[in-house]
Amino acid sequence: MRFSCRALVRLKLLLLLHIGVLASAAAQGSPEQDTYETQKRLTVGVTKYAEAQLGITRFIRARAVRVQKQEEAPGQLTAEFVLPTAALPPLDSLVATLGFVLENNLNAHNLTARLEQLAAEEERLTAQLAYSQTRLLAPQLPAPERETLGTEIISLQSQLAQARQQQQRLRAHQGQAYVVLRLYDEVSFPTGNHKVAFVNMPGVEYGYLRLDNPKAGLTSRSYQGYSIKYHFTRGKSYFNLGVYKPTEKSATDSAFVNELFMINFGQDFYPRNFGRGRQKFLNLYTSYQIGGFILNRDDDQQNDFIPNLNLGLGLELVKTRHILLDNKASYFIPLNKRSRDLRGLLYQASFSFVF
Protein backbone atom coordinates (compact mmCIF):
# COMPACT_ATOMS: atom_id res chain seq x y z
CA MET A 1 0.00 0.00 0.00
CA ARG A 2 2.88 2.33 0.88
CA PHE A 3 4.48 1.68 -2.53
CA SER A 4 1.27 2.49 -4.35
CA CYS A 5 0.91 5.83 -2.56
CA ARG A 6 4.50 6.80 -3.33
CA ALA A 7 4.11 5.80 -6.97
CA LEU A 8 0.93 7.85 -7.20
CA VAL A 9 2.66 10.86 -5.67
CA ARG A 10 5.57 10.56 -8.10
CA LEU A 11 3.19 10.26 -11.04
CA LYS A 12 1.33 13.39 -9.99
CA LEU A 13 4.58 15.28 -9.44
CA LEU A 14 5.81 14.38 -12.92
CA LEU A 15 2.48 15.46 -14.39
CA LEU A 16 2.62 18.81 -12.59
CA LEU A 17 6.24 19.28 -13.65
CA HIS A 18 5.20 18.74 -17.26
CA ILE A 19 2.39 21.26 -16.86
CA GLY A 20 4.87 23.75 -15.40
CA VAL A 21 7.16 23.37 -18.41
CA LEU A 22 4.21 24.00 -20.74
CA ALA A 23 3.20 27.09 -18.76
CA SER A 24 6.75 28.40 -18.98
CA ALA A 25 6.77 27.86 -22.74
CA ALA A 26 3.44 29.69 -23.01
CA ALA A 27 4.90 32.60 -21.05
CA GLN A 28 7.81 32.73 -23.49
CA GLY A 29 5.32 32.86 -26.37
CA SER A 30 3.64 36.00 -25.05
CA PRO A 31 3.95 39.17 -27.18
CA GLU A 32 7.65 39.92 -27.39
CA GLN A 33 7.29 43.68 -27.67
CA ASP A 34 5.63 43.89 -24.25
CA THR A 35 8.99 43.21 -22.61
CA TYR A 36 10.56 46.38 -24.09
CA GLU A 37 10.28 49.85 -22.59
CA THR A 38 10.19 51.42 -26.09
CA GLN A 39 8.00 50.23 -28.95
CA LYS A 40 7.92 51.86 -32.38
CA ARG A 41 5.68 51.37 -35.42
CA LEU A 42 6.60 52.73 -38.86
CA THR A 43 4.66 52.59 -42.14
CA VAL A 44 6.38 54.04 -45.20
CA GLY A 45 5.19 54.40 -48.81
CA VAL A 46 7.88 54.71 -51.46
CA THR A 47 8.06 55.22 -55.21
CA LYS A 48 11.44 53.48 -55.65
CA TYR A 49 10.71 50.28 -53.80
CA ALA A 50 13.82 48.27 -54.73
CA GLU A 51 16.19 50.99 -53.49
CA ALA A 52 14.17 51.54 -50.31
CA GLN A 53 13.99 47.81 -49.56
CA LEU A 54 17.77 47.52 -49.97
CA GLY A 55 18.35 50.51 -47.68
CA ILE A 56 16.09 49.13 -44.94
CA THR A 57 17.67 45.66 -45.17
CA ARG A 58 21.18 47.09 -44.86
CA PHE A 59 20.16 49.19 -41.87
CA ILE A 60 18.66 46.18 -40.09
CA ARG A 61 21.78 44.08 -40.72
CA ALA A 62 24.06 46.84 -39.45
CA ARG A 63 22.08 48.09 -36.43
CA ALA A 64 19.61 45.45 -35.25
CA VAL A 65 20.35 43.56 -32.04
CA ARG A 66 17.95 40.83 -33.12
CA VAL A 67 15.53 40.25 -36.01
CA GLN A 68 12.24 38.78 -34.88
CA LYS A 69 10.57 38.58 -38.31
CA GLN A 70 11.18 39.72 -41.87
CA GLU A 71 8.58 38.92 -44.53
CA GLU A 72 8.65 40.01 -48.16
CA ALA A 73 5.95 39.96 -50.83
CA PRO A 74 5.73 41.72 -54.20
CA GLY A 75 5.88 45.42 -53.39
CA GLN A 76 5.75 44.90 -49.61
CA LEU A 77 8.15 44.36 -46.72
CA THR A 78 7.25 43.72 -43.08
CA ALA A 79 10.04 43.56 -40.50
CA GLU A 80 10.07 43.25 -36.71
CA PHE A 81 13.43 43.81 -35.07
CA VAL A 82 15.17 45.11 -31.94
CA LEU A 83 17.34 48.23 -31.94
CA PRO A 84 19.30 50.10 -29.30
CA THR A 85 17.21 53.17 -28.46
CA ALA A 86 20.12 55.32 -29.65
CA ALA A 87 19.57 53.96 -33.17
CA LEU A 88 15.97 55.24 -33.43
CA PRO A 89 16.87 58.78 -34.67
CA PRO A 90 19.03 57.38 -37.52
CA LEU A 91 16.12 55.09 -38.46
CA ASP A 92 13.76 58.09 -38.61
CA SER A 93 16.25 59.98 -40.77
CA LEU A 94 16.58 57.03 -43.13
CA VAL A 95 12.86 56.44 -43.71
CA ALA A 96 12.30 60.20 -44.22
CA THR A 97 14.63 60.05 -47.24
CA LEU A 98 13.01 56.93 -48.70
CA GLY A 99 9.43 58.15 -49.16
CA PHE A 100 6.36 59.36 -47.33
CA VAL A 101 5.98 58.26 -43.69
CA LEU A 102 2.31 57.40 -43.16
CA GLU A 103 2.74 56.18 -39.58
CA ASN A 104 5.43 56.92 -37.01
CA ASN A 105 4.24 55.96 -33.54
CA LEU A 106 6.51 55.74 -30.52
CA ASN A 107 5.24 54.17 -27.30
CA ALA A 108 7.49 54.38 -24.26
CA HIS A 109 6.56 53.12 -20.81
CA ASN A 110 8.49 52.52 -17.58
CA LEU A 111 8.97 48.86 -16.67
CA THR A 112 10.36 49.62 -13.20
CA ALA A 113 7.00 48.99 -11.56
CA ARG A 114 6.75 45.63 -13.34
CA LEU A 115 10.25 44.64 -12.21
CA GLU A 116 9.43 45.61 -8.63
CA GLN A 117 6.24 43.57 -8.79
CA LEU A 118 8.11 40.52 -10.12
CA ALA A 119 10.82 40.92 -7.45
CA ALA A 120 8.17 41.00 -4.72
CA GLU A 121 6.52 37.95 -6.28
CA GLU A 122 9.86 36.13 -6.34
CA GLU A 123 10.44 36.92 -2.67
CA ARG A 124 6.97 35.69 -1.71
CA LEU A 125 7.32 32.48 -3.73
CA THR A 126 10.81 31.80 -2.31
CA ALA A 127 9.56 32.13 1.26
CA GLN A 128 6.50 29.99 0.58
CA LEU A 129 8.62 27.33 -1.15
CA ALA A 130 11.10 27.18 1.79
CA TYR A 131 8.22 26.79 4.25
CA SER A 132 6.63 23.98 2.21
CA GLN A 133 9.96 22.15 1.85
CA THR A 134 10.57 22.40 5.61
CA ARG A 135 7.13 20.95 6.34
CA LEU A 136 7.76 18.12 3.87
CA LEU A 137 10.77 17.02 5.97
CA ALA A 138 8.63 16.45 9.07
CA PRO A 139 9.02 12.75 10.07
CA GLN A 140 5.44 12.08 11.15
CA LEU A 141 3.71 13.81 8.21
CA PRO A 142 0.60 11.94 7.04
CA ALA A 143 0.70 10.56 3.48
CA PRO A 144 -2.21 12.73 2.14
CA GLU A 145 -0.58 15.89 3.47
CA ARG A 146 2.81 14.81 2.08
CA GLU A 147 1.18 14.36 -1.34
CA THR A 148 -0.45 17.81 -1.14
CA LEU A 149 2.83 19.45 -0.16
CA GLY A 150 4.66 17.73 -3.00
CA THR A 151 2.13 19.06 -5.47
CA GLU A 152 2.40 22.54 -3.96
CA ILE A 153 6.21 22.51 -4.13
CA ILE A 154 6.22 21.63 -7.84
CA SER A 155 3.77 24.44 -8.56
CA LEU A 156 5.79 26.96 -6.53
CA GLN A 157 9.02 25.97 -8.27
CA SER A 158 7.39 26.50 -11.68
CA GLN A 159 5.99 29.92 -10.69
CA LEU A 160 9.34 30.97 -9.23
CA ALA A 161 11.19 29.99 -12.39
CA GLN A 162 8.75 32.02 -14.51
CA ALA A 163 9.09 35.11 -12.28
CA ARG A 164 12.89 34.95 -12.47
CA GLN A 165 12.81 34.39 -16.22
CA GLN A 166 10.54 37.39 -16.78
CA GLN A 167 12.81 39.61 -14.67
CA GLN A 168 15.82 38.43 -16.66
CA ARG A 169 14.12 39.22 -19.97
CA LEU A 170 13.02 42.69 -18.84
CA ARG A 171 16.52 43.54 -17.62
CA ALA A 172 18.11 42.19 -20.80
CA HIS A 173 15.84 44.45 -22.91
CA GLN A 174 16.62 47.68 -21.09
CA GLY A 175 17.97 50.33 -23.47
CA GLN A 176 16.42 48.57 -26.47
CA ALA A 177 13.39 49.26 -28.69
CA TYR A 178 11.08 46.84 -30.49
CA VAL A 179 10.37 48.13 -34.03
CA VAL A 180 7.59 47.06 -36.39
CA LEU A 181 8.26 48.47 -39.86
CA ARG A 182 6.06 48.18 -42.95
CA LEU A 183 7.35 49.28 -46.35
CA TYR A 184 5.17 49.27 -49.46
CA ASP A 185 5.40 50.38 -53.06
CA GLU A 186 3.05 53.30 -53.75
CA VAL A 187 2.83 52.32 -57.40
CA SER A 188 1.15 49.07 -56.38
CA PHE A 189 -0.65 50.53 -53.36
CA PRO A 190 -1.26 54.23 -54.12
CA THR A 191 -3.33 54.99 -51.01
CA GLY A 192 -1.79 52.62 -48.50
CA ASN A 193 -5.07 50.73 -48.38
CA HIS A 194 -7.79 49.87 -50.83
CA LYS A 195 -10.61 51.81 -49.22
CA VAL A 196 -12.12 54.98 -50.65
CA ALA A 197 -12.48 57.72 -48.02
CA PHE A 198 -15.88 59.29 -48.65
CA VAL A 199 -16.66 62.76 -47.34
CA ASN A 200 -19.64 65.13 -47.34
CA MET A 201 -18.02 68.45 -48.29
CA PRO A 202 -20.09 71.12 -50.06
CA GLY A 203 -18.75 74.51 -51.11
CA VAL A 204 -18.93 77.49 -53.44
CA GLU A 205 -16.66 78.33 -56.35
CA TYR A 206 -15.89 81.47 -58.33
CA GLY A 207 -14.81 81.10 -61.95
CA TYR A 208 -13.32 83.47 -64.53
CA LEU A 209 -13.02 82.33 -68.17
CA ARG A 210 -10.84 84.35 -70.54
CA LEU A 211 -11.45 83.32 -74.18
CA ASP A 212 -8.53 83.05 -76.61
CA ASN A 213 -10.49 83.97 -79.73
CA PRO A 214 -13.75 85.73 -78.87
CA LYS A 215 -16.02 86.20 -81.86
CA ALA A 216 -17.05 89.83 -82.27
CA GLY A 217 -20.73 90.31 -81.54
CA LEU A 218 -21.27 86.66 -80.61
CA THR A 219 -19.13 86.04 -77.52
CA SER A 220 -17.71 88.22 -74.77
CA ARG A 221 -13.98 88.47 -74.17
CA SER A 222 -14.52 86.82 -70.81
CA TYR A 223 -17.16 85.16 -68.65
CA GLN A 224 -17.41 84.91 -64.88
CA GLY A 225 -19.78 83.27 -62.45
CA TYR A 226 -20.39 81.10 -59.44
CA SER A 227 -20.86 77.37 -58.93
CA ILE A 228 -21.87 74.92 -56.25
CA LYS A 229 -19.00 72.52 -55.68
CA TYR A 230 -19.51 69.22 -53.88
CA HIS A 231 -16.62 66.95 -52.83
CA PHE A 232 -17.57 63.36 -52.11
CA THR A 233 -14.15 61.72 -51.61
CA ARG A 234 -10.99 62.92 -49.92
CA GLY A 235 -9.11 61.82 -53.05
CA LYS A 236 -10.45 64.28 -54.19
CA SER A 237 -13.46 63.83 -56.49
CA TYR A 238 -16.25 66.35 -56.91
CA PHE A 239 -19.13 67.73 -58.97
CA ASN A 240 -19.71 71.37 -59.75
CA LEU A 241 -22.79 73.10 -61.12
CA GLY A 242 -22.96 76.79 -61.98
CA VAL A 243 -23.62 79.67 -64.35
CA TYR A 244 -21.12 81.99 -66.07
CA LYS A 245 -22.22 85.37 -67.39
CA PRO A 246 -20.43 87.64 -69.92
CA THR A 247 -18.42 90.59 -68.61
CA GLU A 248 -19.53 92.58 -71.66
CA LYS A 249 -22.67 92.32 -73.79
CA SER A 250 -23.75 92.94 -77.37
CA ALA A 251 -26.78 95.18 -77.84
CA THR A 252 -27.22 94.40 -81.54
CA ASP A 253 -26.75 90.67 -82.24
CA SER A 254 -29.50 88.37 -80.91
CA ALA A 255 -27.21 85.34 -81.30
CA PHE A 256 -24.83 86.68 -78.65
CA VAL A 257 -23.92 84.05 -76.03
CA ASN A 258 -25.24 85.43 -72.75
CA GLU A 259 -24.87 82.41 -70.48
CA LEU A 260 -22.82 79.26 -69.97
CA PHE A 261 -24.53 76.76 -67.66
CA MET A 262 -21.73 74.42 -66.46
CA ILE A 263 -22.09 70.78 -65.31
CA ASN A 264 -18.79 69.00 -64.57
CA PHE A 265 -17.20 66.08 -62.78
CA GLY A 266 -13.59 66.53 -61.64
CA GLN A 267 -10.71 64.86 -59.87
CA ASP A 268 -7.46 66.20 -58.43
CA PHE A 269 -4.19 64.30 -58.14
CA TYR A 270 -1.39 65.08 -55.70
CA PRO A 271 2.29 64.60 -56.59
CA ARG A 272 4.23 61.96 -54.71
CA ASN A 273 7.16 64.22 -53.78
CA PHE A 274 5.47 67.45 -52.61
CA GLY A 275 3.47 66.50 -49.53
CA ARG A 276 0.92 64.23 -51.24
CA GLY A 277 -1.90 66.57 -50.26
CA ARG A 278 -1.38 66.09 -46.50
CA GLN A 279 0.04 69.53 -45.70
CA LYS A 280 -2.07 72.24 -44.09
CA PHE A 281 -0.83 74.84 -46.55
CA LEU A 282 0.18 74.98 -50.22
CA ASN A 283 -0.66 71.51 -51.54
CA LEU A 284 0.16 71.31 -55.24
CA TYR A 285 -1.96 69.14 -57.53
CA THR A 286 -2.99 68.48 -61.13
CA SER A 287 -6.63 68.17 -62.16
CA TYR A 288 -9.11 67.42 -64.86
CA GLN A 289 -12.78 68.23 -65.27
CA ILE A 290 -15.07 66.59 -67.78
CA GLY A 291 -18.69 67.35 -68.47
CA GLY A 292 -20.38 70.00 -70.53
CA PHE A 293 -22.25 73.29 -70.63
CA ILE A 294 -25.49 74.62 -72.02
CA LEU A 295 -24.87 77.57 -74.30
CA ASN A 296 -27.72 80.12 -74.10
CA ARG A 297 -28.20 83.01 -76.55
CA ASP A 298 -30.23 86.20 -76.42
CA ASP A 299 -32.72 84.84 -78.97
CA ASP A 300 -33.43 81.77 -76.73
CA GLN A 301 -33.19 79.46 -79.74
CA GLN A 302 -31.05 76.35 -80.29
CA ASN A 303 -29.56 76.18 -76.80
CA ASP A 304 -26.86 73.60 -77.45
CA PHE A 305 -25.27 71.24 -74.95
CA ILE A 306 -21.52 71.21 -75.62
CA PRO A 307 -19.13 68.68 -73.98
CA ASN A 308 -15.96 70.12 -72.50
CA LEU A 309 -12.67 69.01 -70.99
CA ASN A 310 -10.45 71.03 -68.63
CA LEU A 311 -6.85 70.17 -67.74
CA GLY A 312 -5.21 72.22 -65.05
CA LEU A 313 -2.81 72.85 -62.22
CA GLY A 314 -3.93 73.90 -58.74
CA LEU A 315 -2.75 74.89 -55.30
CA GLU A 316 -4.65 74.29 -52.06
CA LEU A 317 -4.02 77.43 -50.01
CA VAL A 318 -5.42 76.19 -46.69
CA LYS A 319 -6.49 72.65 -45.84
CA THR A 320 -7.65 71.37 -42.46
CA ARG A 321 -9.93 68.58 -41.30
CA HIS A 322 -12.93 70.88 -41.69
CA ILE A 323 -12.26 73.50 -44.40
CA LEU A 324 -10.53 73.79 -47.77
CA LEU A 325 -9.53 77.02 -49.55
CA ASP A 326 -8.48 76.14 -53.07
CA ASN A 327 -7.60 77.73 -56.42
CA LYS A 328 -6.49 76.48 -59.80
CA ALA A 329 -5.97 77.43 -63.43
CA SER A 330 -6.96 75.17 -66.31
CA TYR A 331 -7.43 75.26 -70.05
CA PHE A 332 -11.11 75.15 -71.00
CA ILE A 333 -11.67 73.08 -74.17
CA PRO A 334 -15.17 72.73 -75.70
CA LEU A 335 -15.40 69.49 -77.68
CA ASN A 336 -17.39 70.59 -80.73
CA LYS A 337 -17.19 72.85 -83.80
CA ARG A 338 -17.31 76.03 -81.69
CA SER A 339 -14.13 75.14 -79.83
CA ARG A 340 -12.18 78.00 -81.43
CA ASP A 341 -14.69 80.62 -80.28
CA LEU A 342 -15.13 79.36 -76.70
CA ARG A 343 -11.83 77.84 -75.57
CA GLY A 344 -9.63 79.73 -73.18
CA LEU A 345 -7.95 79.99 -69.80
CA LEU A 346 -10.18 79.26 -66.80
CA TYR A 347 -9.37 80.36 -63.25
CA GLN A 348 -11.36 78.91 -60.33
CA ALA A 349 -11.25 79.65 -56.60
CA SER A 350 -13.35 77.70 -54.11
CA PHE A 351 -14.15 77.41 -50.43
CA SER A 352 -15.47 74.09 -49.08
CA PHE A 353 -16.28 72.78 -45.62
CA VAL A 354 -17.08 69.40 -44.07
CA PHE A 355 -20.81 69.22 -43.41
pTM: 0.54
Could you tell me if 262 and 342 lie in one domain? yes
Question: pLDDT band for position 192 (50/70/90)?
Answer: very low
Could you tell me if 43 and 18 lie in one domain? no
Q: What angle do CA 34, 78, 188 make, to 5 degrees?
A: 145
Could you tell me if 162 and 290 lie in one domain? no
pLDDT at residue 131, as a whole number = 78
Of 185, 209, 237, which residue constitutes the final position of a domain? 185
Buried b (16+ CB within 10 A) or exposed e, 115-131: eeebeebbeebeeebee
Could you tell me if 241 and 286 lie in one domain? yes
192 in a structural domain = no
pLDDT of 347 higher than 90: yes
Residue pLDDT, tens place only, 17-72: 444 443 444 344 346 667 788 899 999 888 788 899 999 999 999 999 899 999 98
Could you tell me if 8 and 147 lie in one domain? yes
Could you tell me if 159 and 17 lie in one domain? yes
Residue pair 203/231 in contact (Cβ under 8 Å)? The answer is: yes
193 in a structural domain = no
Q: What is the mean pLDDT of residues 165-180?
A: 77
Could you tell me if 72 and 136 lie in one domain? no
Residue pair 287/328 in contact (Cβ under 8 Å)? The answer is: yes
237 in a structural domain = yes
21 in a structural domain = yes
Please tell me the total count of domains within the chain: 3
Determine the structural domain holding residue 66 and report its residue range.
Answer: 34-109+175-185
Gap between the Cα atoms of 183 and 222, Å rounded: 50
Residue pLDDT, tens place only, 218-272: 889 999 999 999 998 876 899 999 999 999 876 666 778 888 999 999 999 888 7
Q: What angle do CA 101, 107, 113 make, to 5 degrees?
A: 170
Could you tell me if 104 and 116 lie in one domain? no
Q: Among 90-99, 140-149, 320-329, 335-344, which stretch is predicted with the lowest mean pLDDT?
A: 140-149
Q: What is the mean pLDDT of the chain?
A: 81
Could you tell me if 289 and 153 lie in one domain? no
Q: What is the mean pLDDT of residues 275-298?
A: 87
Could you tell me if 40 and 52 lie in one domain? yes
227 in a structural domain = yes
Q: Greater confidence, 73 or 116? A: 73
